[in-house]
Amino acid sequence: MSTPPTTPPTTHAWRFTRQGADSRSLPEVHSSIHVPNSSALWWRRFLAFIGPGYMISVGYMDPGNWATDLQGGSQFGYHLLWVIMLSNLMAIVLQALAARLGIVTGRDLAQACRDHFSPVISYALWVSCELAIIACDLAEVIGTAVALQLLFGLPLIGGCVVSIADAFIVLLLMQRGFRYLEAFIIGLLIIIAGCFVVQIIAAVPSISAMLHGFVPTTQILTDPSMLYIAIGIIGATVMPHNLYLHSSIVQTRAFERTPTGQRDAIKWSTLDSTIALVLALFINAAILIVAAAAFHGSGHQDVAEISDAYRLLSPVLGVAIASTLFATALLAAGMNSTITGTLAGQIIMEGFLHLSLPAWARRLLTRGLAVIPVLFVTLFYGEHGVGELLMFSQVILSMQLPFAVIPLVMFVSDREKMGEFTISPVMKVLAWVIATIILVLNFKLLWDTVTSAS
């Protein structure tokens, strides 16, 4: 078994300030998963790296995605499928960059920001990240609570309280080993995928309309309501906290901290996340396709709330089990998302603030920062307006994206920090184009909001 390194990698021109140089990201599981040596068969080495990609893919199919995809499909049919595809392609690129940063530097994105920026900027970025975590958890906790209500009749507040248990699930599974946590996540992903395969078959969507939906249209720039949902889709798909999460959990692999070992780790980690995000693309597209096939052409274009979709799905499709499968997949997605969100919250707090707390205390603290506001919001909104609340949370996420994307692209483009693993000029241009698209869409949303309010 490979021996975990005792110091952060120094094989390249590391130019981050060395503040907190001895700290590791997720120290309790850092380099804990064995990686076969270079003489092993390729598939054995790839299997060692399978896991982190599926953990970050969870954030791309969480209940927030359900809200935006349901509203997009019911209101605009298949026309926003291309936005989902574009978002996933951007996610594939950005997650590959996040994995590269963690593998090469031995720092997660939060640690890298703390080391590179001044304390004022670093704290500002931390606040932005916490807002993103809260917005994300708002969707995840409410989604879980709605699923529990639909399946078991549990009140929304009760469901929110039950969702806090994920902090203990993370603690229990990580005590047994990080592979157990990854296996739990992958198992729930299989349940989600299976539920939607059945629903798509039952919905019998138009193949030609689906294909046409993947073709970009300029209507998004002239229709404010379509733009609002599209930005919500981007915010729900490209999750800012996932960039921090991925840059950390790739370091759970005990690969050789040499240029050859790092190059190999980048290759397999990128393949892992790309395959996992293709699965996320299928799930996101499936939600919108089912909504478009079931609601858009049947006089239910106003379906925006998950509970409405649950009540209508079986009657409209004529399949009794459709609604139950829908709620089951939602519950699995909510559980998965709250678990990875809790882990991301820990990474962000430790990385930016360099806190030294017991594992259970860190997770309860990061979870509490998100769950407590959710409880108050749920009390205020009750069972009404949950769809609009979920949509708003995804737009908030989209607004936080530049604060994660821009530092990430800056770091992986800097030869002083990345050495020979600096991204190529072509990839650098692509990464900045993605960052620019996100910024432009966000400014467009702000402009429309300000002008409509005045």
Enter the tokens of residue 14.
């590391």
User: SS3 letters for 346-369?
Assistant: HHHHHHHHCCCCCHHHHHHHHHHH
pLDDT at 449: 60
Q: Mark 319-338 as b/e (b = at least 16 C-beta within 10 Å).
A: beebbbbbbbbbbbbbbbbb
Q: Contact at 8 Å (CB) between 102 and 250?
A: yes
Range of the domain at 179: 56-453
pLDDT at 378: 67
pLDDT at 2: 45
Q: Contact at 8 Å (CB) between 260 and 267?
A: no
Enter the tokens of residue 207.
């193949």
- Whether 183 is covered by a domain: the verdict is yes
Q: Using alpha carbons only, give the angle 445, 345, 28 rounded to the nearest 5 degrees.
A: 150
Q: 225-243: per-residue pLDDT in tens? A: 888 788 777 766 677 888 9
Residue with tokens 């603030």: 353
- Whether 252 is covered by a domain: the verdict is yes
Give CA–CA dist 384/377, Å, rounded. Answer: 11
What type of residue is 399? M
pLDDT at 249: 96
pLDDT at 16: 47
- Whether 319 is covered by a domain: the verdict is yes
Q: What is the CATH number of the domain that holds 388?
A: 1.20.1740.10
Q: 30-59: per-residue pLDDT in tens? A: 999 999 988 889 999 999 999 999 999 988
DSSP 367-398: HHHHHHHHHHHHHHHTTSSHHHHHHHHHHHHH
pLDDT at 235: 63
Overall domain count for the chain:
1
Q: Using alpha carbons only, give the angle 299, 303, 309 rounded to the nearest 5 degrees.
A: 105
Find all residues with CB under 8 Å of 446, minimum gap 6, and list them.
none
pLDDT at 385: 54
CA dist 29 to 107, 174, 393, Å? 14, 8, 31
Q: Contact at 8 Å (CB) between 286 and 268?
A: no
Paired residues of 33 in beta bridges: 253
Rg (Cα) of the chain, in Å, rounded? 21
- Whether 35 is covered by a domain: the verdict is no
What type of residue is 281? L
Q: 232-273: per-residue pLDDT in tens? A: 777 666 778 889 999 999 999 999 989 999 999 999 999 999
Q: Contact at 8 Å (CB) between 33 and 179?
A: yes
pLDDT at 446: 64
pLDDT at 410: 95
Through-space distance between the first and last CA atoms of the chain, rounded to whole angstroms: 64
Residue with tokens 């998004």: 220
Give CA–CA dist 109/98, Å, rounded. Answer: 7
Q: Which residues of the chain have pLDDT under 50?
A: 1-21
DSSP 143-183: HHHHHHHHHH---HHHHHHHHTTHHHHHHHHHHH-HHHHHH
- Whether 34 is covered by a domain: the verdict is no
- Whether 27 is covered by a domain: the verdict is no
- Whether 29 is covered by a domain: the verdict is no
Q: Contact at 8 Å (CB) between 293 and 206?
A: yes
